[in-house]
Amino acid sequence: MKRTWTIIGVGDVALSFKWYQSLLGLPRTSPAHDYFGQILDTDGTVLLCLHSWGEHEHPPLLGPSDSGPGNGLLLFFRVDDFDEALPRARTLVTALAEEPHLNPATGTMEFALHDPDGYYVMISALSTD
């Protein structure tokens, strides 16, 4: 099983959260944090994640004026084969952008690497709980 979470940088998570819910005709809820929120379909599927510019020092989310490759985008893949994904990733790059670690926000293990075009790609263990 594979999952992708599209994460975009925004100036105001609450405002953007309300905007996307309105656009997609979703019930009104509030983001989990002032710096991060997930737009969820009615079945709980993550449709889009909103992340405040500059929070947590993610390289492509430092600010809207940073014009490097992939600015404002985190490709965040949740995978059910995390232990197998790590050695596969190591064969694709000379060094990981972030070594495996526990993400306190998701409670899952993750690591990051850059794709051939410079996009920042996060691989996160899909929780089976």
pLDDT number for residue 70: 73
List, for residues 66-100, the tens digit of each pLDDT value: 767 677 788 888 888 899 999 999 998 999 999 99
List, for residues 47-62, the tens digit of each pLDDT value: 889 999 888 777 778 8
pTM equals: 0.67
Would you place residue 64 in the very low, low, confident or very high pLDDT band (cuts 50, 70, 90)?
confident
List, for residues 96-128, the tens digit of each pLDDT value: 999 999 998 889 999 998 987 687 889 899 875
Q: How many CA atoms lie within 13 A of 53 on its CB side?
A: 11
The token duo for 31 is 């983001």
Burial label for 120, CB within 10 Å (0-12, 13-18, 19+), is: buried
Cα-Cα-Cα-Cα dihedral sign, residues 2, 110, 46, 118: negative
pLDDT number for residue 117: 66
Residue 61 to residue 70: CA distance in whole angstroms: 9
Q: Label the pairing between strands 36-40 and 46-52.
A: antiparallel
CB of 33 closer than 8 Å to CB of 39: no
Query: What phi-psi label fits residue 44: left (phi over 0), alpha (psi between -120 and 50 degrees) or beta?
Result: left
Helix (H, G, I), strand (E, B) or coil at 34: coil
Helix (H) or strand (E) holding 89: helix 82-90
